[in-house]
Amino acid sequence: MKQMKDNDPDHRFSFDHIFQGNSTQEEVYNSVGYEVVESAFEGFNGTVFAYGQTSSGKTHTCIGPDYVDKEKRGILPRMVGHIYDKIKQGPSYIEFRIKVSMVEIYM
């Protein structure tokens, strides 16, 4: 976990990762979403939580600039694709039940 400080010693911020402006959607997904899906198939609940100011890049990160284009799609379309890929790879005798919830809170 990386820590950053501003000039006030009472303000400390912790980050698991800081992405550069030229980071790809795939790099972000591999760092943020991949393990959430893998853990779900091991029986754990998973959450991806995006929080920030208006115009800070949440939609760009979560949905992507083009969710159809495999290179440009964001975390959520990649997670859905990953889930279905895992199901296709699973044994045919296993029945999967998937529940996904997405919530956007505005103002």
Distance of alpha carbon 72 from alpha carbon 66, whole angstroms? 5
Stated pTM of the model: 0.80
CA neighbor of 77 nearest in space, from 28, 39, 44: 28
pLDDT value of residue 12: 74
Question: Band of the pLDDT at 2, cuts 50, 70, 90?
Answer: low
Q: Where are the domains of the chain?
A: 19-107
The end-to-end CA distance of the chain, in Å, is 30
Domain 19-107 superfamily per CATH: Kinesin motor domain (3.40.850.10)
State pLDDT tens for residues 65-88. 998 899 999 999 999 999 999 999
